[in-house]
Amino acid sequence: MAMVCLTDFEEYAKEHLSKATWDYYAAGADECCTRDDNILAYKRIRLRPRILRDVSVSDTRTTVQGTEISFPVGIAPTAFHCLAWHEGEVATARATEALNTCYITSTYSTCSVEEIVAAAPNGYRWFQLYVYRDRKLSEQIVHRVEGLGYKALVLTVDVPYTGKRRNDIRNQFKLPPHLKVKNFDGVFQQEGSVPEDYGIPANTLDPSISWKDVYWLQSITRLPIIIKGILTKEDAELAVEHGVQGIIVSNHGGRQLDGGPASIDALTEIVDTVQGRIEIYLDGGIRTGSDVLKALALGAKCVFIGRPAVWGLAYKGEEGVREVLQILNDEFRLSMALSGCRNVAEINRNLIQFAKL
């Protein structure tokens, strides 16, 4: 079967993954309103294409944090890639290296940060971080990834507690015994009696995390800090005031608070508040090249895909992730050209139809 669009990969993954694994990746919080709205929100946005602009040559390249990538789509941090494909994050890393874009490695990887670097030594990578009750755990992993050449830290700030994902509770989701959260291998010598939350002991995450922890993180690393999980202009302003280098507008794929905005709907107020002082990225709901175009027109510098990368893995490992990225790249290039844009610098808000009927 020819894989033509990202939905084809989704259907393949749904058919071929176990029910518990599919449910884990697909899960949203509570009634999944926000998860579903992440996708539906793009369909409400209309483009204003310009014509007769000579689009015979097009260029999709852009930069993030000063580094050039081939097109403005990276891989968002998602956990447990080995559930989808035996090579897991190693395959994802090779695919993103091959397409010369950014891979945000999850703390909850089923391959270690060292294995990922060894598999794709020239890849451009950021590392997604949680703050733990035991700050030493967070500090050790920061120093590990800094030494390995990861180029930024992505601090996830929307998980003081894990959202209620109903199917995971029904399925009693657990990592299979042959897989583990590799970055913490041997750190938690847990007895069978300790309740587990997605591969690590429950209550490991610190719900007391606050803005002062951003200062703490800056004190232990020289890497740029990007905050993931901001949805309001107030928090965007605080992020700038605290000296971070970027924001990822994100609702965690609709897996945390149900009833919050779609990330694309939160983007505009954040862009208007930040006014170019730091870079703004977005994840959640990107399924087509025109979705990418809409996000860039509304002010995102780059977008990141989560679930579609996992679907690509489930289809054919590294090759599947490459195909997913290539399809998005081709669709984005086509949408750009059909809108009259020759390069990403020409994409701006004039492309968006704001008037409501």
Query: What pLDDT is stored for residue 197 in this prediction?
Result: 84
Q: Is 190 annotated as a binding residue?
A: no
Q: Is 228 annotated as a binding residue?
A: yes
What does the pLDDT average to over 7-18? 98
Q: Is 339 annotated as a binding residue?
A: no
pLDDT of residue 218 exceeding 70, the answer is yes
pLDDT of residue 239 exceeding 90, the answer is yes
Domain ranges of the chain: 6-183+197-354
Report residue 193's pLDDT band, with 50, 70 and 90 as the boundaries. Answer: low
What does the pLDDT average to over 174-202? 82
pLDDT of residue 357 exceeding 50, the answer is no
What does the pLDDT average to over 161-170? 96
Q: Is 149 annotated as a binding residue?
A: no
**In this prediction, what percent of the chain has a pLDDT beyond 70?**
97
Continuous H helices in the chain? 6-16, 19-26, 33-43, 89-98, 113-119, 135-148, 166-171, 211-220, 233-241, 263-274, 289-297, 307-339
What does the pLDDT average to over 105-133? 97
Q: Is 283 annotated as a binding residue?
A: yes
Q: Is 264 annotated as a binding residue?
A: no
Give the long-range contacts of residues 140-146, CB within 8 A, separation 24 or more. Answer: 141/107, 141/113, 141/183, 142/217, 142/220, 142/221, 142/223, 143/220, 143/221, 144/113, 144/114, 144/183, 145/105, 145/113, 145/223, 146/221, 146/222, 146/223
Query: What pLDDT is stored for residue 354 in this prediction?
Result: 83
Alpha-carbon distance 213 to 208, whole Å?
Answer: 9
Q: Is 306 annotated as a binding residue?
A: yes
pLDDT of residue 125 exceeding 80, the answer is yes
What does the pLDDT average to over 41-47? 97
Select which of 16, 178, 242, 252 is catalytic: 252
CB atoms within 10 A of CB 143: 12
Q: Give which of 1, 2, 20, 21 is closest to 314, Cα–Cα.
A: 21
Q: Indicate the range of 40-54, 192-206, 317-331 predicted with least confidence.
A: 192-206
For the chain, the average pLDDT equals 96
Question: What are the tens digits of pLDDT across the range 240-285?
Answer: 999 999 999 999 999 999 999 999 999 999 999 999 999 999 999 9
pLDDT of residue 189 exceeding 70, the answer is no
Question: What are the tens digits of pLDDT across the range 52-79?
Answer: 999 999 999 999 999 999 999 999 999 9
Report residue 90's pLDDT band, with 50, 70 and 90 as the boundaries. Answer: very high
Judge contact between 320 and 94, C-beta under 8 A: no
Query: What pLDDT is stored for residue 75 in this prediction?
Result: 98
Q: Indicate the range of 100-109, 141-150, 199-208, 251-260 predicted with least confidence.
A: 199-208
Report residue 195's pLDDT band, with 50, 70 and 90 as the boundaries. Answer: confident
Residue 177 or 72, more confident:
72
| DSSP reduced 3-state for 3 | coil
Question: What are the tens digits of pLDDT across the range 314-335?
Answer: 999 999 999 999 999 999 999 9
Judge contact between 306 and 79, C-beta under 8 A: no
Class of domain 6-183+197-354: alpha beta
Q: Is 317 annotated as a binding residue?
A: no
* 86 flagged as catalytic: no
What does the pLDDT average to over 116-123? 98
Q: Is 295 annotated as a binding residue?
A: no
pLDDT of residue 184 exceeding 80, the answer is yes
